[in-house]
Amino acid sequence: MKVTAVLLAAGQGTRMKSNLPKMLHAVAGKPMIWHSLQAISQSTTEKPIVVVGYGADEVTKYLGDSAQTVLQEPQLGTGHAVMQAESALKGKTDLVVVCYGDMPLLRGETLQKLVETQKNNTGPISLLTVVADDPRGFGRIIRKPDGTVEAIVEEYVATPEQLKVRELNVGGYCFDANWLWDALHRIPKNPRKGEYYLTDTVELATKDGVPVQATLMDDVEETIGINTRVHLTEVETAMRRRINEGHMLNGVTMIDPASTYIEASVKIGKDTVVMPNTYLHGKTEIGEGNVIGPNSIIRDTKIGNFCKVLASVTEGAVLDDYVDMGPFARLRKGAHLGNHVHMGNFGEVKDSHLFEGVKMGHFSYIGNAQIGANTNIGAGTITCNYDGEKKHPTEIGEDVFIGSDTMLVAPLKIGAGARTGAGAVVTKNVAEDTLVVGVPARAIRKLERKAKK
């Protein structure tokens, strides 16, 4: 059975007071519409249709291949919005799921239940409802004595008796497609607002004498819609709690989830501890048994197992296993720290590979460099990789000892087992097992390398 979603996203979102279309405001690091599309993909079989209007170009550009868009212009209500999908969908789907793009907490499982309800319904509509103390302006659900739904009454037209109803229309529907396309054309124009309300399809079904079923949700939180920035933060907090609980249930320890900010796309292995005030962004993947934070910002970074990242910032980096980093270290794009690398305070690494066991304890900048295994980078070492026009590479072999405050003027190669004296300015390649000192540094004698332990 073909199930296709129509996601309504054409409204302006005036109350956001923003230049950005409402649908693109981020929740847990992803535009709110992304969350809706995730839920939709769990409950439908076909590519979704997104109805766009306000900010259509920006929203369409963001969606790319993930959805087909149809334009609603002008915006004449939720019923009119669904009508815009008719030509794209007529005859191509059995069921149509309709939901609103500003409810990112709605779960895929909930939409699945809704679809199941409709599959067992002899009538043409099933819809999501919730019972809540605070009606928040939602439409009221009027039930028939047999338990099926008779009508949805919008707040501003409800009688005092109807206003007391606490079962609310959430804004998630599943329709029999054949019935829907015809019914949309039968929706009367609302006399007050001149709009066509999708919710009026319920009364049409009642008139047709066919049943409308409801799926009663138990988690009110899922139904929070975003109309203002206050709602946006409310949803952000709820989404953060949900994401963090997911990780905790998968074996991640969090000392203080309320101050742990993890985007929806991040993966974390078991027995990793995420300490407070830590931000995990983007395509970050973290393995098992690590301690991340406190006070760390990790973006698009792959971290292996058993690493420590204390009060540090990383972006576009890779850490293998047993890396010990921070406090106050920074990895930029293309930084790769091998197994057992130690990177202490106030260091920066960019576009460089530090092989197994490299130590850079203090105050160094390493850029466009390869550093061989077990090499020691003394305090204050700088790869002078930029001549004002171009970046140049530095290659350092294994078991090298770079003395404190060495300036490595690239392009430069330093052979395995070499040493530089403190404060050396190295402008020429250094042969293996050679000690260089001075400014600029000259070779002074041949060394004997200790056998590896």
**Alpha-carbon distance values, 168 to 131, 227, 311 (Å):** 6, 17, 46
| Residue 107 identity (one-letter amino acid) | R
In the complex, minimum distance from the CB of residue 22 to Mg ion, in angstroms, rounded to a whole number: 10
Contact region with Mg ion (CB under 5 A), list: 217-225, 354-362, 387-395, 416-424: 217-225
- Contact yes or no for 257/241 (Cβ under 8 A): yes
171 binds, options Mg ion, ligand UD1, none, Cβ within 5 to 8 A by partner type? ligand UD1
**Alpha-carbon distance values, 385 to 62, 440, 450 (Å):** 37, 16, 30
In the complex, minimum distance from the CB of residue 141 to ligand UD1, in angstroms, rounded to a whole number: 9
Which CB atom, from 200 or from 321, has the smaller least distance to ligand UD1?
200
Distance CA 441, CA 119 (A): 80
In the complex, minimum distance from the CB of residue 75 to ligand UD1, in angstroms, rounded to a whole number: 3
Choice from 34, 100, 306, 365 touching ligand UD1 (CB under 6 A) = 100
Choice from 36, 43, 44, 72 touching ligand UD1 (CB under 6 A) = 72
Distance CA 343, CA 365 (A): 11
Choice from 21, 104, 123, 225 touching ligand UD1 (CB under 6 A) = 225
In the complex, minimum distance from the CB of residue 112 to ligand UD1, in angstroms, rounded to a whole number: 20
The size of the interface with Mg ion (CB under 5 A), counted in residues, is: 1
In the numeric block, which tokens belong to residue 67? Answer: 């959805």
Distance CA 189, CA 77 (A): 10
In the complex, minimum distance from the CB of residue 147 to ligand UD1, in angstroms, rounded to a whole number: 20
Contact region with ligand UD1 (CB under 6 A), list: 194-202, 299-307, 360-368, 406-414: 194-202
Which CB atom, from 3 or from 187, has the smaller least distance to ligand UD1?
187
In the numeric block, which tokens belong to residue 398? Answer: 């294994």
In the complex, minimum distance from the CB of residue 225 to ligand UD1, in angstroms, rounded to a whole number: 4
The size of the interface with ligand UD1 (CB under 6 A), counted in residues, is: 27
| Residue 31 identity (one-letter amino acid) | P
In the complex, minimum distance from the CB of residue 132 to ligand UD1, in angstroms, rounded to a whole number: 11
Strand partners of residue 387: none
Closest residue to Mg ion, based on beta-carbon distance: 225
Contact region with ligand UD1 (CB under 6 A), list: 77-85, 285-293, 390-398, 426-434: 77-85
Q: 219-248 mask for Mg ion (x: CB under 5 A)?
A: ------x-----------------------
Choice from 197, 306, 355, 365 touching ligand UD1 (CB under 6 A) = 197
In the numeric block, which tokens belong to residue 248? Answer: 């905790």
Q: What is the DSSP string of 104-157?
A: TT--HHHHHHHHHHHHT-SSSEEEEEEE-S--TTPPEEEE-TTSSEEEEE-GGG
Which residues of 159-276 form beta strands (DSSP E)? 167-176, 212-217, 253-254, 260-262, 267-268, 273-274
304 binds, options ligand UD1, Mg ion, none, Cβ within 5 to 8 A by partner type? none
Which CB atom, from 181 or from 197, has the smaller least distance to Mg ion?
197
169 binds, options Mg ion, ligand UD1, none, Cβ within 5 to 8 A by partner type? ligand UD1
**Residue 9 binding ligand UD1, by CB under 6 A:** yes
- The answer for 303, left when phi > 0, alpha when psi is -120 to 50, beta otherwise, is beta
Choice from 31, 104, 171, 421 touching ligand UD1 (CB under 6 A) = 171
Alpha carbon 420 to its chain centroid, in Å, reads 45
Element (H, E) at 401: strand 401-402
268, 274, 277, 283 alpha-carbon torsion, rounded to 10°: -10
> Which residues are catalytically annotated?
362
11 binds, options ligand UD1, Mg ion, none, Cβ within 5 to 8 A by partner type? ligand UD1
76 binds, options Mg ion, ligand UD1, none, Cβ within 5 to 8 A by partner type? ligand UD1
Which CB atom, from 226 or from 298, has the smaller least distance to ligand UD1?
226
Distance CA 414, CA 400 (A): 8
Window 110-169: residues binding ligand UD1 (CB under 6 A): 138-139, 152, 154, 168-169
Alpha carbon 296 to its chain centroid, in Å, reads 17
**Residue 80 binding ligand UD1, by CB under 6 A:** yes
Alpha carbon 156 to its chain centroid, in Å, reads 37
Residue in 381, 402, 401, 383 with CA at minimum distance from that of residue 392:
383
Q: Which residues bind ligand UD1 (CB under 6 A)?
A: 8-11, 51, 53, 72, 75-78, 80-81, 100-102, 138-139, 152, 154, 168-169, 171, 197-199, 225
